[in-house]
Structure 1
Amino acid sequence: MLEVKNIRVDLGGVNILHDLSLKVSAGEVVSVVGPNGAGKSTLFAAMSGALKPRLGVVELDREALSDWPSQTLARKRAVLPQHSELTFPFRVLEVVLLGRSPYAGFSSHEIDLAIARLALLETETLHLADRVYTTLSGGERQRVHLARVLTQIGFCDLEPGASRCDPGPSEENERFLLLDEPTSSLDPAHQHMTLQTAVRAAECRIGVVAVLHDLNLAAMYADRIVMLKEGRIIAQGAPAEVLTEGLIEEVFELPVSVVLHPKRGCPYVIAA
């Protein structure tokens, strides 16, 4: 369980998050949505451990993030920020292998390499493995970093005797993947690919938190949507419970029509 307990975050003397609480279980996809300035990125930073709340605590398996040894935490929780800066002329495979750094002493180079190649295959970047990272487009870079965090979280686990997604039921094996606007630089096909990967990760008992701007993508792929406004949770629940015309107009100040998606049966939001 990844749990946010009554956190308050102040930045520059301004209260950004107000007594906010949230639980994420292994095996579910949770999408955080809200207008600009709602506090999505601040909540993400707190959940990742990059930002310490003024009040309250963020816990992983009932232990504060700050109390986890960094190498152990890195094997339990992987973070994909909006922007990943890398200016060195590494080859793509080398970038993805950086995700295996927390497994030093726990894994072999052969296993690390096989996991990295599976992650490249999952993100449709295997053909880029030998390319220099700095020569890639923005969308290609984003997919390469997704492959990197997948290798970090053990999405493509190849331990002897284990299936690809068989971490076992114990809390010790629960892992979490945090994605901050993972579709922002991607074309439509790769937006769906990325969120399909998030769903497959959840099937492997990985809890996924994804900050998204596209309400329709959230409706299609999230098990639960958390809607923020002005640093507070306005609503959370299944997509059909949260993506209502009234709530969307209240939070986003945009009149919409909400209909059923003709094939998926989930809510589909249309600007009125």
Structure 2
Amino acid sequence: MLRVEKLSYEIKGRRLLKDISFQMRKGEVLAILGANGAGKSTLMGVLCGDKKPTEGAVLLNGKTLDQYDMKELSRCRAMLSQQQQMTLAFKVSEIVMMGRYPHFKSSPSANDILIVEEVMNLCGVKSLEDRTFLSLSGGEQQRVQLARVLAQIWDNKDSLLLLDEPISALDLRYQQKVLAIAKALARRGFMVVLIVHDVNFAAIYADRIIMLKNGRKLLDGTPIEVLNTKDIYTIFSVESVVELSSKTLKPYVKLEELVLDALVFNSLLTSESNMTTERTLDLLIDKSPYLSAEELACQVGISEFEIWRLDKRNNTKVFRTDFDLLTEILPTLGKVRICSGAKGVKHTLVGGYTLHSYESGKKAVFAGDFDLAFLFNHWHIGLLIENESGRALRFFNKNGMELHAISLSDEQNDADRSEGMKDLILTENGDNGWEHCFSDRTIEVSKPKKDQYYQSMSQFRKILALCAAKKTPVSIKLLNGGCEQSYTGVVFNLIDQGSRYIIKEPTFELEIVWQNIGRIVSREDDHFKGPVVIELFNNYDDLILTLQASYIIIQENWDEVLGKCNKNSVV
């Protein structure tokens, strides 16, 4: 058995491996995956014994590597490295015989000669045995080195075989054959650890996969457990589709095409040193047509308002900046779908506007099907948008951030023909100059410090899970400077996607993108024994969401609570 305990490796003050632990049994093929620089080869060097860990230990068959003498270790551990330096003109047969050096003193035995013959035949290098190693192609040299490594532990099925990118220089036929050899040996008792860059080869030939990122073990499981769209993007930063083979029941990863325009990265191809914003947006939409306006704005570096205007899929008309007329028009629309957003949070309700109070030019409060307040001094401009999804009204602040949106039904699409809606929309001449109505604030995306709020994030989830299980009402309010939109009621359908958290009820939806949350604060209420209010702040430290539970019984066993949640469709 191979056991790795809290392994770390540091060189010149830089930690290349950080607190890695795992174990593998005889007969197992373990694949190590990760992007370049993730620490894969460093880990193999430590497993081999060539590198001494800064912290932790590697135990092979119950003994740490430094408890073996070199000859004993060489008989039960062999490694094929990425780099194979060879400057002398050794023959192929001589190099393969080097693998048997730990097994004899002066001259090889008949058994040693037999083993060398077998591994050369297996690796397809028998016909090259009299040629010098330096005269071979890169793929042929790699197969010779594999034969040498196999010869080293050929007669010891309790051995550890380490293969660092064993197929990097091989053609497709030998790529398959090398991995098939490794799996066949494992089925007879060998332990095999290999590094490959092709995730589909790992899915086919590995029993288990460990994924590394920045020197840490991020994922560990069977291919079907770790090879999914989200985790592949986390490790490699590539878009993919993962399907399950009906024949083998193993995952198959298909990469999405990466589309580049040479004008983006080669300024000498055209006299235009930079692409226009419109062209950048078009290319991004062609590549990822389902990105939201907020996501497009972050990537292109312009406001959400400009995204809606420049997106060729939309027909748009601009609203005038006097929004008092809305208090008369909105109650006539009937039941609509409304959405208020802040960076990282979307709060959606279904219902009708009922005006509760109104202060001209400052504030309008709606009650009834939902609670909503408009703070008009933060509103700047609006759009009537028509596309294949229908029509919608969207309102923006002076930085072009979307504050509020209303999706209109077919019946409500005719509302813009009313006298009030005609007054609301600018004429064609009045539409001029919209490009200059925003500040030149650059769109910035800062990285949250997740360790600082992970506990509160977990607490947020637990409170919602407990309230769902107990059918306890919660109050969830979004704030974005221009709107305060609230929902109070029972929630059941909680969807935790890791990076996103979603509540999806018939008349209420909430979506939180955790990477855009800067910090989370929980507050205790004197009337209850536990936190009942949680506040979410964005990366600019603006309060954007509050959650308040009617009561929380923190003494309850969480495992029991979560079991009850599953019965209530809580994911």
TM-score, normalised to structure 2's length? Answer: 0.44
Which structure's residues are more often strand, by fraction? 2
Question: Shift of the alpha carbon at 1:264?
Answer: 3.3
Counterpart Cα distance in 2 of 1:126 and 1:26: 30
Write the letter of the residue equivalent to 1:18. K
Partner of 1:13: 13
Question: Shift of the alpha carbon at 1:130?
Answer: 1.3
Question: Shift of the alpha carbon at 1:90?
Answer: 1.2
Choose from 179, 197, 217 the match for 1:233. Answer: 217
Partner of 2:206: 222
Partner of 1:192: 176
Write the letter of the residue equivalent to 1:4. V
Three-state SS of the structure 1 residue aligned to 2:178 is helix
Question: Shift of the alpha carbon at 1:265?
Answer: 3.0
Q: Deviations over 1:19-54 (max 9, x none)?
A: 111212221110000111111111111101111111
Question: Shift of the alpha carbon at 1:132?
Answer: 1.2
Counterpart Cα distance in 1 of 2:65 and 2:17: 18
Indicate the structure (1 or 2) with the bigger Cα radius of gyration.
2
Question: Shift of the alpha carbon at 1:108?
Answer: 4.9
Which structure's residues are more often helix, by fraction? 1
Counterpart Cα distance in 2 of 1:183 and 1:263: 25
Write the letter of the residue equivalent to 2:172. P
RMSD: 1.6
Counterpart Cα distance in 1 of 2:38 and 2:184: 29
Partner of 2:40: 40
Partner of 1:49: 49
Write the letter of the residue equivalent to 2:119. A
Q: Deviations over 1:159-188 (max 9, x none)?
A: xxxxxxxx6xxxxx5111000011111111
Q: Sequence identity of aligned pairs in percent?
A: 41
Distance 1:92 1:108, change over 3 A: closer
Counterpart Cα distance in 2 of 1:213 and 1:239: 14
Question: Shift of the alpha carbon at 1:12?
Answer: 2.5
The reply to whether residue 70 of structure 1 matches residue 85 of structure 2 is no
Distance 1:30 1:135, change over 3 A: same
Counterpart Cα distance in 1 of 2:248 and 2:50: 36
Q: Deviations over 1:90-140 (max 9, x none)?
A: 111111000000101599521111100100111111111111111100100
Write the letter of the residue equivalent to 1:51. K
Counterpart Cα distance in 1 of 2:111 and 2:97: 11
Three-state SS of the structure 2 residue aligned to 1:200 is helix
- Please show how residues 150-229 of structure 1 align to structure 2 within 5 Å: 150-154=150-154, 157=155, 174-229=158-213
Per chain length, whose mean CA-contact separation is higher, i.e. which structure has more relative contact order (CA < 8 Å, sep 6+)? Answer: 1
Counterpart Cα distance in 2 of 1:10 and 1:72: 27
Partner of 2:25: 25
Partner of 2:104: 104
Partner of 2:113: 113
Write the letter of the residue equivalent to 2:231. L
Q: Deviations over 1:199-227 (max 9, x none)?
A: 11102211000011110110110010111
Unaligned runs of 5+ in 2: 257-571
Partner of 2:130: 130
Unaligned runs of 5+ in 1: 158-166, 168-172
TM-score, normalised to structure 1's length? Answer: 0.90
Distance 1:221 1:107, change over 3 A: farther
Counterpart Cα distance in 2 of 1:99 and 1:148: 5
> What is the total number of aligned residue pairs between the two structures?
256
Three-state SS of the structure 2 residue aligned to 1:90 is coil
Counterpart Cα distance in 2 of 1:53 and 1:188: 36
Question: Shift of the alpha carbon at 1:61?
Answer: 1.4
